[in-house]
Chains A and B, each alone.
Chain A
Amino acid sequence: MEDIVGQLWHKFISKVAYNGYPEQQVALADISNSLAVFFRAMGGNGGLKITEVNAFEHGAKQSLLQKIAGSGTHIELAWRDEDTLRLPAAIDVLPNVEQNRQLYFWLAALASIDDKPFEHLNWIGAAQAKTVAVLSQYPGLKKRYFELVALIIQHRPTLSKLKERDLAAEQAIRQALLEPGSVDRLPLSQRPPMPVMLWLNPNPPTKAKAKEASDDDDSSNDDDQSSSGKVKQSNNRKYQAEQQEEDSEQQKPSLLTVRHETDLFTLAEMFKLARSEDDDDDLDNASEIADDLDYLTISKDNKTRGSRIKFDLDLPAASDDDIALSEGSLFPEWHYKKNKLIKDHCCVIPMVSGHATPTPLPENLTRAARKVRRQFEALQAQRQWVRGLEDGSEIDLEAYINYCGERATGRLSAQPALYKHMLPGHRDLATLVLADLSLSTEASLSEETRIIDVIRDALFLFSESLCTTTDQFAIYGFSSKKRQMVRFTTIKGFNDKYDNRVRGHINAIRPGLFTRMGGAIRQATEILQKRPNAQKLLLLITDGKPNDLDQYEGRYGIEDTKAAIIEAKQAGLIPFCITIDRDAKEYLPYLFGSKGYAQIKDIQQLPSELPLLYAQLTGLY
């Protein structure tokens, strides 16, 4: 009973003490796409991704009600680093939806401003200078900014309730908001002042946290006890996990030895604790514990490093492995030092996934799939006149003139073809997509995504768009382990219908071993060569250079791949490479020619880019 009353009271008092308009809330997830476009248009880096920021304890004075309710202790402030723009998960502090939305856009505009010119300023100076920069660059935002300021000020602690130094600080902040650029420094206050939601977090947690962790690490090299943390996935909340890097040269004085005046809003420390392995039972509770922490710190640890990273180059167990369809066929390999093609040097084994089960299109792709399908359907509508028909919608003037000429000279054809008709454009194109499924595709791009996942999504969207066209396509994947085994996995053959079974095969792609490109390209060439189509495109999707365990690396791999590509061209194919390797410029022009490849700068864009690239390449546009 007491529990229930307690809960009810907590609910009630929290609601009363809540300083916002929950029914007017705008969620980041709903507008993050628009925000991203806006951010980029304002000059923000296109590679940045937008995620939710987590709240931290600000330490500022709470209202009496908030104190009673135990709420209002945390705040979410936006900030940005080299690869992420972090914004509050939802905003409801302002009285209507449109204003809350405006606050998001204001924060995005502020975050798009380059930090460099303001590095010499203190945090309040920098915040004002950035505001001034945004307002002068985008004068249209002035009106909105001052509207937001007026509303935000209403949310700030009441002046009459503040004393002396706290009052002076609060007044300075209000002045800085109302007249940006007019406050040089913030007077010292007893308590940290209430953070300003219109400004970015002046002390984003990354650097500070990494530093603390590294300090800790350095001092405990000989510590036999180890700690380890596993982050359990939780849907409710995103954790800020900072991977700490070994950058001991860049040591700056530790955070705590410098007085950062009001910068220091929060403190979440990493302690190495001597925990026995039994404590792992506690992992189920880990997500709850993680919820209570402001930040999770992941540090490199001298004990657990090896056991946590799985780097296994052995083949999968037989029961888990793909099924080999035959013993394989032998292909030659180019030896550049000997300057000759070595016969039957490389064995390509056709395989098919042993654990693919029919699956529908993953839900997260349905929207994107609908979009590309629509685009491709529109492209298909390209039509052209077919002339010289016996029946058609219009007279073919040229044929008629010829006919008149012939009649005048006494030569008459029995059935004059004098009409023309608009027919759907005719294409006779076969495309073979060859996806590099080497181990490097296992690399993570973010907490949830690996390169292979992006490739998988790309293959899905590619297939979804292609199946609306008349173009025929097949998808194969490859990886290798020395010349005896180039695993050539069929994902979709030319004669397979694109259905849930094929989707299952796409879904089942896994990172394999190495990248012996030459053999795989020769095998793909052989398959494409047998197609009756007029045009044949060999589309290679890769994340790096050719390489394998044996001599197949560096120059040898490049030269053999080049030889295989030349063979493909001679066979009448059009080879084209799509890469996500940042260093691709160093070797791909050599392999495919300067027009023969495309580099996708933002790997995450590969799924949406691939169909468009295809459309451009094959003249659908």
Chain B
Amino acid sequence: MTSTIQDAPFYQPIGNECELFEHAFKHKLPVLIKGPTGCGKTRFIAYMAHKLNLPLYTVSCHDDLTASDLVGRHLIADNSTIWNDGPLTRAVRNGGICYLDEIVEARKDTTVVIHPLTDDRRILPIDRTGETLQAPDDFMLIVSYNPGYTNMMKGLKPSTRQRFISLSFDYLPAAQEQLVVEKETGADALLAQRLVALANALRNLKDQDLEEMPSTRLLVYTATLIIAGFDHVEACRAGLIEPLTDEPETIKALMEVVYAVFG
């Protein structure tokens, strides 16, 4: 997916991540971003792409993503085949940010492809066409992953990890998260504050009752429903509770927490 970002996306910086990112770009260093689902990784990159005025090539990695999905493949045409660049190759040819989301999900051969791009060579060899592309100065590689998901069979290899400047993301402190919900949805301060309080109550349940914590993204969804006129409690059920668990008993208990906040 390629996009040139028109309007500046809203992003709430929390530390020095923007400066670090800019430095990494200036010095042609690749960046690794880790953090839980929906905490703003993708938004941060969109924001930075806009700030640096770069096109953004996003690839959401999945189990079946192979190196050729990144690099490109031959397509059938009339009695012939045509080489079609993959998103990584396009970014290397034209410059811009190539963002590999959830890199650990991809097959192992993909990491082999990105290795030569992450050291000082900054090259992309394409076996099938016999080309070796030299990345331009405004090319930047970014990968992200969610450390909560990693397992032994499918982790990021230390040798891959060590090729990146790494930034760690987490959910925002309550005040900032409230601000994000307000800005994103136009919710009033009271609603945003209660939603954030609810989310933080639910985040207490991580590991013990819930596999994953409710994300800022879910809060934004829920606030959107409420602003559109949905009943608070029902909006929370659909936007916040049901996405978190399938256990009827846990849902019941979590709804009690919703009642406690929205009554």
Q: A37-B253, A42-B260 are in contact. Are A621 and B208 (CB under 8 A)?
A: no
Q: How far is the CB of A328 from chain B (nearest CB, A)?
A: 32
- List the B residue with the shortest CB-CB distance to A35: B253
Q: Does residue A162 face the partner (Cβ distance < 8 Å to B)?
A: no
Q: Does residue B254 face the partner (Cβ distance < 8 Å to A)?
A: yes
Tell me whether A41 and B257 are in contact (CB under 8 A).
yes
Q: Does residue A470 face the partner (Cβ distance < 8 Å to B)?
A: no
Q: How far is the CB of A517 from chain B (nearest CB, A)?
A: 20
Q: Does residue B81 face the partner (Cβ distance < 8 Å to A)?
A: yes
Query: Which residues of chain B are within 8 angstroms of A40 by Cβ–Cβ distance?
Result: 204-205, 208-209
Q: Does residue B151 face the partner (Cβ distance < 8 Å to A)?
A: yes
CA distance A105 to B258 in the complex (A): 12
Query: Which residues of chain A are within 8 angstroms of B73 by Cβ–Cβ distance?
Result: 398
Q: A40-B204, A595-B152 are in contact. Are A34 and B260 (CB under 8 A)?
A: no
**Could you tell me which residues of chain A, from 572 to 611, have a CB within 8 Å of some CB in chain B?**
574, 576, 595, 602, 605
**Could you tell me which residues of chain B, from 241 to 263, have a CB within 8 Å of some CB in chain A?**
249-250, 252-254, 256-263
Tell me whether B205 and A140 are in contact (CB under 8 A).
no
Tell me whether A41 and B262 are in contact (CB under 8 A).
no
Tell me whether A574 and B81 are in contact (CB under 8 A).
no
Query: Which residues of chain B are within 8 angstroms of A37 by Cβ–Cβ distance?
Result: 205, 209, 249-250, 253-254
Query: Which residues of chain B are within 8 angstroms of A36 by Cβ–Cβ distance?
Result: 253
From A12-20, A83-91, A400-408, the one touching the partner chain is: A400-408
Tell me whether A139 and B194 are in contact (CB under 8 A).
yes
**Could you tell me which residues of chain A, from 29 to 77, have a CB within 8 Å of some CB in chain B?**
33-38, 40-43, 46
- A contact residues, range: 35 or more
Q: Looking at the complex, which one of B63, B81, B154 makes contact with A401 (CB distance below 8 Å)?
A: B81
From A341-349, A506-514, A612-620, the one touching the partner chain is: A612-620
From A141-149, A244-252, A433-441, A552-560, the one touching the partner chain is: A141-149
Query: Which residues of chain A are within 8 angstroms of B149 by Cβ–Cβ distance?
Result: 621
Q: Does residue B43 face the partner (Cβ distance < 8 Å to A)?
A: no
Tell me whether B209 and A141 are in contact (CB under 8 A).
no
Q: Does residue B76 face the partner (Cβ distance < 8 Å to A)?
A: yes
Q: Does residue A234 face the partner (Cβ distance < 8 Å to B)?
A: no
Tell me whether B63 and A384 are in contact (CB under 8 A).
yes
**Could you tell me which residues of chain B, from 133 to 165, have a CB within 8 Å of some CB in chain A?**
149, 151-155
Q: Does residue B71 face the partner (Cβ distance < 8 Å to A)?
A: no
- Binary flags per residue of A529-564, CB closer than 8 Å to B gives 1, else 0: 000000100000000000000000000000000000
Tell me whether B152 and A41 are in contact (CB under 8 A).
no
Query: Which residues of chain B are within 8 angstroms of A366 by Cβ–Cβ distance?
Result: none
Query: Which residues of chain A are within 8 angstroms of B250 by Cβ–Cβ distance?
Result: 34, 37
Query: Which residues of chain B are within 8 angstroms of A574 by Cβ–Cβ distance?
Result: 152
Q: Does residue A109 face the partner (Cβ distance < 8 Å to B)?
A: yes
**Could you tell me which residues of chain A, from 266 to 315, have a CB within 8 Å of some CB in chain B?**
none
**Could you tell me which residues of chain B, from 101 to 154, have a CB within 8 Å of some CB in chain A?**
149, 151-154
- List the B residue with the shortest CB-CB distance to A140: B263
Q: Does residue A397 face the partner (Cβ distance < 8 Å to B)?
A: yes
CA distance A218 to B206 in the complex (A): 46
Tell me whether B261 and A34 are in contact (CB under 8 A).
no
Q: Does residue B197 face the partner (Cβ distance < 8 Å to A)?
A: yes
Query: Which residues of chain A are within 8 angstroms of B68 by Cβ–Cβ distance?
Result: 398
Tell me whether A397 and B151 are in contact (CB under 8 A).
no
Tell me whether A38 and B208 are in contact (CB under 8 A).
no
Tell me whether A138 and B253 are in contact (CB under 8 A).
no
Query: Which residues of chain B are within 8 angstroms of A144 by Cβ–Cβ distance?
Result: 259, 263
- Binary flags per residue of A403-439, CB closer than 8 Å to B gives 1, else 0: 0110000000000000000000000000000000000
**Could you tell me which residues of chain A, from 337 to 390, have a CB within 8 Å of some CB in chain B?**
382, 384-385
Q: Does residue B23 face the partner (Cβ distance < 8 Å to A)?
A: no
CA distance A616 to B154 in the complex (A): 9
Tell me whether A140 and B259 are in contact (CB under 8 A).
yes
Tell me whether B261 and A140 are in contact (CB under 8 A).
yes
CA distance A144 to B202 in the complex (A): 21
Query: Which residues of chain A are within 8 angstroms of B81 by Cβ–Cβ distance?
Result: 401, 404-405
- List the A residue with the shortest CB-CB distance to B154: A619
**Could you tell me which residues of chain A, from 120 to 149, have a CB within 8 Å of some CB in chain B?**
137-144
Tell me whether A33 and B249 are in contact (CB under 8 A).
yes
CA distance A265 to B155 in the complex (A): 59
CA distance A35 to B254 in the complex (A): 10
Tell me whether A139 and B261 are in contact (CB under 8 A).
yes
Query: Which residues of chain A are within 8 angstroms of B202 by Cβ–Cβ distance?
Result: 41
Tell me whether B152 and A38 are in contact (CB under 8 A).
no
Which of B74, B202, B258 gathers the greatest number of chain A CB atoms within 10 Å? Answer: B74
Q: Does residue B64 face the partner (Cβ distance < 8 Å to A)?
A: yes
- List the A residue with the shortest CB-CB distance to B104: A619
Tell me whether A141 and B63 are in contact (CB under 8 A).
no
Q: A41-B204, A619-B151 are in contact. List 16 more A-B contacts (CB 8 A).
A: A33-B253, A34-B250, A34-B253, A35-B253, A37-B209, A38-B256, A40-B208, A41-B257, A42-B201, A105-B260, A139-B261, A140-B258, A144-B263, A401-B74, A595-B155, A602-B208
**Which A residues are within 8 Å of any B CB, using their own CB?**
33-38, 40-43, 46, 105, 109, 137-144, 382, 384-385, 397-398, 400-401, 404-405, 535, 574, 576, 595, 602, 605, 616-619, 621
The 7 lowest CB-CB distance pairs between A and B, nearest first, are: A140-B263, A37-B253, A619-B153, A34-B253, A138-B260, A41-B257, A41-B201
**Which B residues are within 8 Å of any A CB, using their own CB?**
63-64, 68, 73-76, 81, 149, 151-155, 194, 197, 201-202, 204-205, 208-209, 249-250, 252-254, 256-263
Identify 15 residue pairs between A and B in the complex whose beta-carbon atoms are under 8 Å apart, listed by A's number: A34-B252, A34-B256, A36-B253, A37-B205, A37-B250, A40-B209, A140-B263, A141-B263, A142-B263, A398-B73, A400-B76, A574-B152, A595-B155, A602-B208, A618-B151
